[in-house]
Amino acid sequence: MGLYERFLLGGAVLYMVGVSVYMLWHRAWFSPDQFFFFAFFGVLLLGKTRQFLFDWIPIMLLLFGYEYLRGLGPVLTKNVNIFPMIKADKFMFGEIPSIRLQNALFVDNVTHWYDYLAVILYISHFVIPMMIAFLFWLDDRKHFKEYMAGLLILSYTAFITYMLYPAMPPWMASNLGYIPPLKKVMDQVLANFATPIDVPSVYRFFGANLVAAVPSLHAAYPWLIFLFVFKRLKKIALLLLPYVFGVWFSIIYLGEHYVIDGIIGVIYATIAFIIIVRFRTIIRVTKSFKSGLSYRLRV
Pick from 169, 127, 121: which is nearest to 34 by CA?
127
Give me the DSSP letters along 218-255.
HHHHHHHHHHHHHHH-HHHHHHTHHHHHHHHHHHHHTT
Q: 65-85 burial, b for 16+ CB within 10 Å, e for fewer?
A: ebbebbbebbeebeeeebeeb
Question: Of 77-81, 157-161, 261-265, which has the strongest mean pLDDT?
Answer: 261-265
Least confident of 46-60, 159-173, 174-188, 253-267: 46-60
Check residues 196 and 257 and name the one with the higher pLDDT: 257
**Structure confidence at residue 1 as a pLDDT band (50, 70, 90):** low
- Mean pLDDT for all residues in the chain: 86
> What is residue 5's predicted lDDT score, i.e. its pLDDT?
62
Average pLDDT, stretch 230-234? 88
270: pLDDT strictly greater than 60: yes
| 89/193 Cα distance (integer angstroms) | 32
User: What is the per-residue pLDDT across 93-119, written as a single tens digit (0 to 9) for each?
Assistant: 999 999 999 999 999 989 999 999 999
